[in-house]
Chain A
Amino acid sequence: MDPFIAAALFIILAPVVGILITGLDRILTARMQGRVGPPVLQPWYDIRKLFQKKQVAVWGAQSFFIFCYLIFIIFTGALFFAGGDILLVIFAFTLGHVFLVLGAYVSYSPYAHIGAERELIQLMAVEPMIIIAAIGLYQVNGSFLIGDMANHPGLPILLLPGVFLGFIYILTFKLRKSPFDLATSHHAHQELVKGSTTEFSGWTLAMVELAHIYELVVMLGFIWLFFGDNLILCVAAIAIIMILEILVDNCTSRVRWQDAMTSAWFVTLVAGAGNIFALSIM
């Protein structure tokens, strides 16, 4: 597919896919908790409502940083689905997140501040695994271009079992699910109020939500790379992984940041780094 069309399709379709997945997520979560749950389009209704709300903020600059966050997450995703260089995608992703963190810092609110610090700890916890995943995919495909990786005829996951496991582990951070929802959480019973997003409201918060949805699609895109061009297998894997993530989300409690970070680094080292090291020896 032409890279520009792919990027455009991502920008248009990702919110639809993302909203559907989050909607299903909320229904499934509700069922696990013995509730009926909202309609499947509830995430969309939420965002629409947020956009209509009156804008209040501690400092106007907050919205600026969140706007940058959204822009760069969309940029990252577009680059990903246009088949760009995977390392560049990862770096652009980090840039986007730094903007989110800065947006949280600006307000000088205790809750947002701790949220921002923890957001950074999460960033530090997951970054090694993401880079190692990219390197592993390179070793299998012989190219850093996502366009080439997506056309891999076989199943890269067979050569990258450790990397895949490590990636699933840090996916929990990225989806902001328990036990690693340190910075901000979907569940309203946390000690940090809403953590890094405490001071956001109105369309600033709507932009954060929208960016999360784009981010979800990009992260699932990473999973796709482990399955090459076997799309059916890939969709099945994504469904299973999402159900598992939701299950874990509902039956664990948040861990301390020390445990979150050290365990992520440990899993990265043992599963991810071990895997790519083995590949380079072979």
Chain B
Amino acid sequence: MLSNDTYMELLIFLILFPLLMAGLLTLIQGENFRRAAVISGAVLVGIASLITLADSITTQAVYHSVPVDMIGILIFIGDILISGYIIFVSLKARQYLVTSITTLQLILLCAVEYLALADHAHIPELFSDELSGIMAAIIGVIGGLICVYALGYMREYHAEHPDRPDKRPRFFGIMFLFLSAMFGVVFSNNLLWLFFFWEITTLCSFLLIRYPETDEAVKNAFRALLFNLVGGACIPVAFLVIFLGQGSQYIGLHELVTAGPGIALIPAGLIAIAGLAKSAQFPFSSWLVGAMVAPTPVSALLHSSTMVKAGVYIIARFAPVFEGQIVGILIALIGGITFLAASAIAISQSNAKKVLAYSTIANLGLIVACCGVGTAEALWAAILLIVFHAIAKSLLFLSVGTVEHQIHSRDIEDMNGLVTKMPRITMMILIGIAGMFLAPFGMLISKWASLHAFVESVPPYGILLVIIIAYGSGITAFFWAKWMGKLIAVGEPQTKDESHIPRSEKNILYILSALTIGVCFGFPIISWYLIEPWLLTMYQSVTDLISLSNIEIMFMMLFLVLIMPFSLARFTHSARRVPRYLCGIPEGRSTAFMGSCGINREIALSNYYLERIFGEERLSRISVGMGIFLIVLLLNILIIGGGL
């Protein structure tokens, strides 16, 4: 399709254009002007990212050296500026731990640059292949949709919280800067570049989380910063290992991965630790849960298309290196434990955003487990999980945000009978939830594929992961299904009222719901044209995980599930309505009854949260402990491996 040069210009456009938009949006004060800018910017970014995706199908992977040497120095200056800014704010807020880690990171980076000056091989700085294309489409399309959604949401947000400072120009600026940095992460071949963009995403998430400027928000923002910096500090160490041990040509991502585990394992393991922190695996997970104090579009952005996806992206890149290695097995175990523990904690939560946060952590855990195992089959499942999760989770976050503005609560218990009050929004939440755990929708396909992949790989650890998934999938079904039940359980019908919802919000939700169903139908196409060719170049051979006949059966189920609702109307009129059985004399309202001693009682039903068994505090403590143990073990192995 496009020539290589035009293609490269497209990549550079995707990195620089959102950056330009970010600058522009920071300056724009007028609301109408901002609306126009955000919408047109998002549309352009979305289209450009889709062209990149289409192009990655038709062309081979493209590598590109940026001819200007200056940029390398500019990026180093950028690194220093970021670190300087973090040191400044952390000193001001007396977060000395953050200061010291940033300083340490800066010193390490200076050492790396010093080595790089003495000896630098010429490697392509930018590249794009099928995986970059998929990631770019997720960032561009989902990220763009979230930015547009934020327009209406933030207006309502500030109407609802007049006490909080209205810094919307900066807010939208940071959102676009985030997108720019994410494009940078997925298109960088030079790891020094990748690290620069990586740090920008850390900084952006810090700024977005502290947006409400409440004490809690600032505290959680610093926690997010701290955890990501601790992880991020491993990356310069990996660079040092590369420059001192292996030679500067391996500073290229592609060069490093293709060099094989003998050379790449230690740097890859170190960078993967940064990925674990960024994708909120235990023991780092609490930053992502804390991040929900931010406005909902921020949560949606962090959870679906950016930030955490950068973490799993980098681990997925190194997955071929981890295949069959003890380092990979440890990473997979961290992912597996995170999947199980985070799903279990989600049972005990009634705050909708917290349930979503824990389910994100759980799903990322599954992705990390797949990448750690590192076989072609496992990686296939991981990439599909990234796609499905990005779409379904953004849909869920945004619809919960919409519901929150209407009912002024994000508690699942308050969503009782929501189906009569907001039938359309409820329908979309149901689609999102179904997408998260039910056959034949998205995530389940990947869970199935990962079971297939684990059962044969790295015995006996593969079976350990299978057992973890077996338990996890029952747990997942429990907390999603009881939420679904809450939405559709109707006591007294409420009057339908969806008119206050801004049109832009509704439209975005429609698009995301359509996408959620669309990828369920389209996943074989994604697999055939994008994932399998990519795996073929990485592994030289790919076996079909899900056979054609099974795909046909999945489609049959999908059609069944989708046509069923059309029969709903027939059923609703076929029965004579009677009051529910209340073991007492029914009163005027169908939710009240006359109990013993003639007392009138209203019924109130609440879900099970099984606090005793799945309490957040208890389970987090256990799993953080296990996470720390495994991370330290991993570091030990990397250090000893480096010494040998």
Interface residues, chain A, CB within 8 Å of chain B?
Answer: 54-64, 67-68, 71-72, 75, 79, 84-85, 87-88, 91-92, 94-95, 98, 101-102, 104-113, 116-117, 120-121, 123-129, 131-132, 135, 138-139, 144, 193, 198-199, 202, 204, 258, 261-262, 265, 268-269, 273, 276-277, 279-281
- Known contacts A117-B607, A120-B482: does B571 contact A60 (CB below 8 Å)? yes
Residue B161, interface by CB 8 Å: no
User: Which A residues touch B471, using CB under 8 A?
Assistant: 128, 265, 268
When the two chains form their complex, are residues A59 and B490 in contact, meaning their CB atoms are under 8 A apart? yes
When the two chains form their complex, are residues A281 and B459 in contact, meaning their CB atoms are under 8 A apart? yes
Residue B568, interface by CB 8 Å: yes
When the two chains form their complex, are residues B455 and A139 in contact, meaning their CB atoms are under 8 A apart? yes
The smallest C-beta distance from A223 to any residue of chain B, in angstroms, reads: 19
If A59-B572, A265-B471 are given as contacts, then 4 extra A-B residue pairs at C-beta distance below 8 Å, sorted by A number, are A64-B567, A75-B557, A85-B553, A139-B455
| Nearest neighbor of A63 in chain B, beta-carbon distance | B571
When the two chains form their complex, are residues B560 and A71 in contact, meaning their CB atoms are under 8 A apart? yes
25 residue pairs of the A-B complex, CB under 8 angstroms, read: A56-B577, A58-B590, A60-B573, A61-B571, A64-B571, A68-B564, A71-B564, A72-B560, A85-B553, A88-B448, A91-B448, A94-B438, A98-B477, A104-B485, A109-B582, A110-B603, A120-B477, A123-B477, A124-B478, A127-B473, A128-B473, A132-B466, A262-B613, A277-B463, A280-B460
CA distance A281 to B553 in the complex (A): 33
When the two chains form their complex, are residues B489 and A64 in contact, meaning their CB atoms are under 8 A apart? no
Residue B263, interface by CB 8 Å: no
Contact partner of B439 (CB less than 8 A), chosen from A91, A125, A131, A202, is A91
When the two chains form their complex, are residues A79 and B478 in contact, meaning their CB atoms are under 8 A apart? no
- Known contacts A60-B572, A88-B439: does B605 contact A108 (CB below 8 Å)? yes
- Known contacts A61-B568, A258-B613: does B478 contact A123 (CB below 8 Å)? yes
User: Which A residues touch B405, using CB under 8 A?
Assistant: none
User: Which B residues touch A111, using CB under 8 A?
Assistant: 581, 583
User: Which B residues touch A193, using CB under 8 A?
Assistant: 581, 583
When the two chains form their complex, are residues A57 and B578 in contact, meaning their CB atoms are under 8 A apart? yes
The smallest C-beta distance from A197 to any residue of chain B, in angstroms, reads: 11
| Nearest neighbor of B463 in chain A, beta-carbon distance | A280
User: Which A residues touch B490, using CB under 8 A?
Assistant: 59, 106, 108
When the two chains form their complex, are residues A56 and B578 in contact, meaning their CB atoms are under 8 A apart? yes
When the two chains form their complex, are residues B451 and A94 in contact, meaning their CB atoms are under 8 A apart? no
Residue B246, interface by CB 8 Å: no
Listed from nearest, the 10 A-B pairs whose CB atoms lie closest are: A127-B474, A105-B485, A60-B572, A91-B439, A57-B575, A131-B470, A109-B580, A64-B571, A280-B463, A128-B470
Contact partner of B467 (CB less than 8 A), chosen from A63, A107, A198, A276, is A276
When the two chains form their complex, are residues A199 and B455 in contact, meaning their CB atoms are under 8 A apart? no
Considering only residues 579-605 of chain B, those with a C-beta below 8 Å from chain A are 579-583, 590-591, 603, 605
The smallest C-beta distance from B108 to any residue of chain A, in angstroms, reads: 41
CA distance A84 to B557 in the complex (A): 13
Contact partner of A135 (CB less than 8 A), chosen from B448, B466, B578, is B466
| Nearest neighbor of B420 in chain A, beta-carbon distance | A59
| Nearest neighbor of A198 in chain B, beta-carbon distance | B581
The smallest C-beta distance from A1 to any residue of chain B, in angstroms, reads: 16
When the two chains form their complex, are residues A138 and B576 in contact, meaning their CB atoms are under 8 A apart? no
CA distance A123 to B478 in the complex (A): 8
- Known contacts A60-B575, A123-B474, A135-B470: does B488 contact A105 (CB below 8 Å)? yes
The smallest C-beta distance from A103 to any residue of chain B, in angstroms, reads: 10
CA distance A98 to B580 in the complex (A): 21
Residue B435, interface by CB 8 Å: no
Considering only residues 448-486 of chain B, those with a C-beta below 8 Å from chain A are 448, 451-452, 455, 459-460, 462-464, 466-467, 469-471, 473-475, 477-478, 481-482, 484-486
| Nearest neighbor of B593 in chain A, beta-carbon distance | A110
Contact with A along B79-122 (1 / 0, CB 8 A): 00000000000000000000000000000000000000000000
